[in-house]
Amino acid sequence: MHQIELGNDDVTVRFIIAEANRTTLKLVLARDAEIIRTADYVLFGRDLTEAYEQLSGKAQLQNESGRTILTIAFERGRVDVSIAWGQGVTTFATDQSYLTKTLGQIGPFE
């Protein structure tokens, strides 16, 4: 299992990639799982890398049915995170320094 962590001084959210194959992956947050197309995960990783490097932009991850479940938006070092998982929505702000580890956990995308 692979873990991806997002957070700030007050909030830490841990996603776990429980299963993966060439077409889909199963991403789990607090026992609630979402199925994501592998191609969408790769696109999210590329968008996140670009936004991180430019300090501007947005990366959105959609589940298999097309619903946006994770949005990470950068603007001048500030980062807004929105997680629409299961029945709830969690939002918090952080800064780019907290996303350095996250970017490494998601993987290098060029």
Q: Is 30 exposed, middle or buried (0-12, 13-18, 19+ CB in 10 A)?
A: exposed
Residues paired with residue 2 on neighbouring β-strands, in sequence order: 17
Domain encompassing residue 38: 2-106
Rounded CA-CA distance 16/33 in Å is 9
* pLDDT at residue 66, rounded to an integer: 96
Inform me whether the pLDDT recorded for 98 exceeds 70: yes
Q: Full-prediction pTM beyond 0.85? A: yes
List pLDDT tens digits, range 29-88.
Answer: 988 999 999 999 999 999 999 999 899 999 999 999 999 999 999 998 799 999 998 888
Measured from the Cβ of residue 4, the count of other Cβ atoms closer than 10 Å reads 19
Count of structural domains within the chain = 1
Residues paired with residue 51 on neighbouring β-strands, in sequence order: none
- DSSP classification of residue 109: -
